[in-house]
Structure 1
Amino acid sequence: MNKIPVFLLLILCISSCKTPEARKPESVSTGSFINESADRNKKLFSLEQDQIEAYITNQEEKLFIPSELGFWFSKDTIQQDSTLKTPNFGDLISYEHYIADLNGQIIYTREELKARDYAMDKQELFTGLREGLKLMKAGETYTFIFPSQKAYGYYGDENKIGANLPIVTQVTVNSITTN
């Protein structure tokens, strides 16, 4: 009878020394959502590029220059004064602009948007306009074409500008106050 408890104790000791096994995952993620999202964005980018190229082709009176930052611009009024500088971080820029779609329909007029003051890189402003203002001097007027990812992106402005809408905006910098 003494042998049975010893035997059970020996089996219990041997079985408890087993190393734990890793559990297998219940489901395996393949990253398909990310791949599908990337494919959608590539198609959207290609479609917008085609629309923008068609718009530029129809604008015979303006010469649009592609920027390294992913948008196009036309220098409508250039400041010849070489002493004027482009804005730096913290400079206060007073500007006016309007926003239209690629069909030429005005979304926001200059009167609706009014003259605005912007502290360079210290305030919120959509990416394309923030980068475009850095190219300009006081007294200049540029026309910018922003693809949706440089404008209001996936959400639009939740008012008049829809989702994934490329825009055209003409901007006039009235003054630049150095900070």
Structure 2
Amino acid sequence: MKHSWLFILGMLFVSCTQSKPRRAINKVKASKKVEYSILYNKKINSIQEKLIKDYIQKDSLLTYEYSPYGFAYAVVKSSTKPKKVIKESSVLTFSKSVFLLNNKEVYPEEILTVKLNTSNLIKGIIEGLKLMREDEEIKFIFSSFVAHGLNGDKNKIGSHTPIVVNIKLLKINN
């Protein structure tokens, strides 16, 4: 009985001590990693901008414009229909095909019907659709930053890969 009280008293003494915080093993400052990441992304962006400009120069049949959202686009077939305001809740039906900058087809043409605010489309396509009219066809060139980014689509489009997307807007339901 005497020994059990000593054991309990010893356990209370040991369990009540506070542990001291340990120092970080990695001594590289976080700011250095952020600076490296910024420089790395700027370099990738400049390479992709050059590739996109080269693609546009080779495609002399179309006149390209730059969107404030960071992509280039050209109207392939214009529409005479009046422009409808596309809202976040709009349901759009459109056809889409995806190519690499070397004109290799990645995804063949498919027809999609999506509600804009609940779709899993890339940001570039969402913003591009907002520029369109019904029965209009536009060719978009998206850098990887507006398309699938660092990881690609984890299927056919690799990381840091700019893409060309041909879209024909078929129907707008508000």
- Deviation per CA, 1:116-143, whole angstroms, max 9, x where unpaired? 0111222221110011011111111000
In structure 1, what is the equivalent of residue 173 of structure 2? 177
Shift of 1:32: 1.1
Partner of 1:109: 108
CA offset digits 1:125-175 (Å, max 9, x no partner) = 111001101111111100000000101111111110000100001000110
1:28 offset after TM fit, Å?
6.8
Q: How many residues align?
A: 151
Q: Which runs of 4+ in 1 moved over 4 A?
A: 25-28
Rg bigger for which structure?
1
**What aligned pairs does 1:67-146 form with structure 2 within 5 A after superposition?**
67-82=67-82, 84-110=83-109, 114-146=110-142
Q: 1:129 to 1:29 in 2, by over 3 A?
A: same
Residues 11-50 of structure 1 mapped to structure 2, 5 A cutoff: 27=27, 29=29, 31-50=31-50
Aligned to 1:6: none
- Asked if residue 164 in structure 1 is aligned to residue 145 in structure 2, the reply is no
- Give the match for residue 4 of structure 1: none
CA distance in 2, matches of 1:33, 1:89: 37
Residue 46 of structure 1: how far off its partner (Å):
0.3
Q: In angstroms, what is the RMSD of aligned CA positions? A: 1.6
Larger displacement relative to structure 2 (25-34 or 153-162) = 25-34
**Counterpart of 1:87 in structure 2: which amino acid?**
I
Please give the alpha-carbon distance, in whole angstroms, between the structure 1 residues aligned to 2:58 and 2:131.
24
More strand as a share of residues: 2
Deviates more, 1:117-126 or 1:97-106: 117-126
Identity among equivalent pairs (%): 27
CA distance in 2, matches of 1:29, 1:60: 48
Q: State the TM-score, normalizing by the size of structure 2.
A: 0.82
TM-score normalised to the size of structure 1? 0.80
* Conserved? CA contact 2:71–2:142, under 8 Å: yes
Distance 2:159 2:134 in 1: 32
Letter in 2 for 1:64: Y
Task: Point out where structure 1 has 5 or more consecutive residues left out of the alignment.
Answer: 1-22
SS of corresponding position for 1:136: coil
Unmatched tracts of structure 2, length 5 or more: 1-20
- In 2: Cα distance, 1:105 partner to 1:131 partner: 24
